[in-house]
Amino acid sequence: MAKTRDHRASSQFIDTAHIYLKAGKGGNGCSSFRREKYIPYGGPDGGHGGKGGSIWLEASYNITTLSELACHPHITASDASPGKGNRKDGANGEDKTVYVPCGTVIKRDGVVLADLKTHGQRFMAAKGGRGGRGNTAFKTRFNTAPKISENGEPGDDYEARLELSVLADVGFVGLPNAGKSTLLSAISAARPKIANYPFTTLNPHIGMVSHKGKSFAAADIPGLIEGAHDGRGLGVMFLKHILRTKLLVHLVDPCGFDGMKPEKSVRVIEKELKSYHPLLAKKMTILAVNKSDLPEAAKVLADLQKKFKKREIFLISAATGKGVSRLLDHIIRVLPSIKEEELYQAASESAPAAGKPVGSGFKIATDADGVFMATGVKIEKLIAMTNFAQPDSWDRVRKIFRTIGLDKALKKAGAVEGDLVRIGAREFQWSDASLPAGRPSKFAYKYRKFDEEYGN
């Protein structure tokens, strides 16, 4: 019997995902010379490689969960084509766009890269590598026939963490069975599951509320219990979803929960919010005693008004609609005056990658085997884009090392003739020999010998 694919995983509400991004590699440059009959001095005509495809993340209100990315975490953009002779540049790789829910935060190594809050907002999560230059780019009046071309630059390749924090203006909080889902379904088109037992709601639900010409988004957060910020119950999974809300409506069950009196339940929830994040303690919170049709509701309201004299408390019934309109009147009156907090501050675009120095700088270190390691953004990119099959490229790299002071730094760090130096994915034998004019350097020869020996 044929097996059928299980689609249940993709339908779950998933608010975190680890994805693996690999942008396209740039195309290699071409080293060629024009050779046509009756045309002397053809000269170099190698074209440049194309640009590798980039990966974009775009926010869309048509998506509400990260389940698709959690099930298919590997995202790859296409490589570019290499350059060709007759100055023909390679084709660019195709960019790839991945859609995520509004409210998705992109992190790398714990650093926030972007916060996609609005529909259509885009972020280049992985940049495609630039194309390598053909030998036409290296032609000068001193070198009219260069035999140098570059490899394409590798595209960004890393693991990112996506975190979804739902976007809502108002969040309904409270102990389980307080009537949060009932209230949301009564004032919006959202249809969360409603039942007479605790923890009915397992996922946050968002509904658009329209009242007297004003509208706002409201979110029903699954029931919190004491110790939620430490992982008890489901609260720790969903507390982050109320961080973005401007206003909280704390629903109180007059019957209490699990033997807890309503007055204590208010203090428990507020303590949990404060313990999870200091920002939640600063948010405006409206108290609303639900289930006003119950006999004990009026007494609970009076008790809460005595304990919390400076706060306005509403008596409502989400099931019958009594008092709900007055609550909504208050919400649309105070909501416009509440300033939105900037919760996730994206890192500067100019910030260096973790552990990498800025610009053309580099760092020298040694590993446990005594191999010298030179690390730096530009120096590693130089090695990745150097075509070591071309003898002239070896001397070019050697001259660059001299110019930027790498040789001096290695010598100062204690490197001697024959020591291994690792830069990026390659290892070389270091030599302090000078560059002879008109022939490959001793340094370059030793690099080639080492490279051939280890099959790189």
The domain segmentation of the chain, as residue ranges, is: 9-164, 170-337, 363-453
Confidence of residue 205 (pLDDT cuts 50, 70, 90): confident
Q: Letter for the amino acid at 363?
A: K
Is the predicted pLDDT of residue 153 greater than 90, yes or no? yes
Nearest to 157 by CA among 22, 273, 66, 253: 22
**Furthest-apart CA pair in the chain: how many Å?**
106
Report, as an integer, the average pLDDT of 248-266: 84
We find that the CATH architecture of domain 170-337 is 3-Layer(aba) Sandwich (3.40)
- Token duo for residue 11: 């339908």
DSSP 130: P
- Kindly report the pTM of this predicted structure: 0.76
Topology annotation, domain 9-164: Spo0b-associated Gtp-binding Protein; Chain: A, (2.70.210)
Q: Read off the pLDDT of residues 57-107 as tens digits, 9 standing for 90 and up.
A: 999 988 888 989 999 999 999 999 999 999 999 999 999 999 999 989 999
Q: Read off the pLDDT of residues 28-45 as tens digits, 9 standing for 90 and up.
A: 999 999 888 887 778 899
pLDDT at 150: 95
Confidence of residue 440 (pLDDT cuts 50, 70, 90): very low
CA 148 – CA 394 distance, rounded (Å): 10
SS3 content of the chain, % helix, strand, coil (to 5): 25, 25, 50
The residues that bridge with 222 in the sheet, in sequence order, are none
CB 290 within 8 A of CB 317: yes
Question: What is 363-453's CATH number?
Answer: 3.30.300.350
Q: Give the CA distances from residue 289 to residues 4, 75, 258, 283, in Å, rounded to whole numbers and listed in that order.
A: 49, 48, 17, 19
CA 320 – CA 179 distance, rounded (Å): 12
Report, as an integer, the average pLDDT of 388-403: 88
